[in-house]
Amino acid sequence: MKITIAENSGFCYGVMRAIKMADEALRKNPIIYSLGPIIHNPQVVEDYEKKGLMVSENLNDIDAPVLIRSHGVPPETYKQIKEKKLDFIDATCPFVKEAQDYAKELYLEGYTVVIFGDKNHPEVKAHWGYTNYKAYIINSLEEAEKIKSEKIGIISQTTQSIDKFSKVVAQLSKHSKKIKVYNTICDATEKRQKSAKELAKKSDVMIVIGGKNSANTRKLYEICLNYCKNTHYIETENELKKQWFAPNDRVGITAGASTPSYIIERTFESIRGLNV
Ligand code: SF4
């Protein structure tokens, strides 16, 4: 078998930065809390819990410094942190921060704001907060069809697919005179999606690694599945199955933005060790 790892895969800039900030804070404090898991990867979260990074969703339960993860938080969370006089480490990814600023700008300029993304994702919930919870959150063309307004302002969750976003923007343009679009899909996501697509096209088997709760990994899985029917989504190398592979298969590996390199390497080695 020939095994290839996608050119752009694994930890993105924002996640790497958040992890570094957590490491630095843990050198100064025995315990810190992150508001929700630091990244969507159960293995990494477990490792960090042992180092003193606890996870809580509720500020009322926290009495130590708080780490705001790369997905960001809505404005009132900063207010609550300050009211509670807690120290905080802001690891919001700068690209997410930029999207938050655009959401706020569009809202203040009187646009009907549309956020393209998953309404249950914490990043999207935070963006929504910057529009005073007035924005429409949509994730399909059908939902876009229902929005009609003189002035529509659009941003995207950073991890969405650019193809889908473009289609939604085209649909929204049909029912509005004035459209302002901020393409807030981040470079890391686009690059990762492109490399995954190219690799899937020339692979007989694709392995996509990442937390099952990671939105960007799920997107990679969907993209790969379009080009390679034999695509499998795993969290760690322990989920690999020998029957997925055949001799002389070209195997591609890609991984979401919250997958550490050691899990990618272990997966590579495990596939090699299957002796197919
Ligand atoms: S995927 Fe992009 S926007 Fe999201 S944390 Fe990573 S670098 Fe930041």
- CA 231 from chain centre, in angstroms, equals 20
> Helix 42-51 and helix 13-28: axis angle, to 10°?
20
Q: How does DSSP classify residue 93?
A: -
* Domain with 179 in it: 95-185
Ligand 1 center from residue 159 Cα (angstroms): 7
> CB–CB of 83/52 below 8 Å?
no
- List the chain residues with pLDDT less than 50: none
**Tokens read off for 96:** 């997410």
- The CATH number that applies at residue 85 is 3.40.50.11270
Q: Is 43 helix (H, G, I), strand (E, B) or coil?
A: helix
- 259 plus 194 within the same structural domain: yes
Domain boundary among 130, 157, 185: 185
Q: Which residue has the least CA distance to atom 6 on ligand 1? A: 14
pLDDT tens by residue, 91-113? 999 999 999 999 999 999 999 99
pLDDT tens by residue, 214-248? 888 999 999 999 999 999 999 999 999 999 999 99
What is the arrangement of strands in the sheet containing 205-209, beginning at the earlier edge strand?
2-5, 250-255, 205-209, 231-234
- 74 plus 99 within the same structural domain: no
Distance CA 128, CA 115 (A): 8
Claim: this prediction has a pTM higher than 0.75: yes
> CB–CB of 147/172 below 8 Å?
yes
- The CATH number that applies at residue 128 is 3.40.1010.20
- 170 plus 229 within the same structural domain: no
> Looking at residue 16, what is its pLDDT?
92
> Looking at residue 117, what is its pLDDT?
96
Number of structural domains in the chain: 3
Distance CA 32, CA 25 (A): 8
Distance CA 171, CA 256 (A): 29
Q: Is 92 helix (H, G, I), strand (E, B) or coil?
A: coil
Q: What atom of ligand 1 comes closest to residue 99's alpha carbon?
A: 3
Domain boundary among 35, 64, 93: 93
Ligand 1 center from residue 249 Cα (angstroms): 32
* Beta strands, E only, 74-118: 88-90, 112-116
Domain boundary among 167, 185, 203: 185
Q: Which residues line ligand 1 (CB under 6 A)?
A: 12-15, 70, 93, 95-96, 158-159, 186, 188-189, 257
- Catalytic sites, residue numbers: 123
Nearest to 39 by CA among 98, 99, 100, 91: 91
> Looking at residue 159, what is its pLDDT?
85
Q: What atom of ligand 1 comes closest to residue 13's alpha carbon?
A: 7
Distance CA 165, CA 145 (A): 14
Q: How does DSSP classify residue 133?
A: T
Taking the alpha carbons at both ends of the chain, their separation in whole angstroms is 8
Q: Which residue has the least CA distance to atom 5 on ligand 1? A: 14
Q: Is 201 helix (H, G, I), strand (E, B) or coil?
A: helix
> Looking at residue 275, what is its pLDDT?
84
Helices and strands counted in the chain (H then E): 10, 12
Conformation bin of residue 203: beta by default, left when phi > 0, alpha when psi is -120 to 50: beta
Q: What atom of ligand 1 comes closest to residue 96's alpha carbon?
A: 3
> Looking at residue 40, what is its pLDDT?
83
State phi, psi for 76 to the nearest 5 degrees. Answer: -70, -20
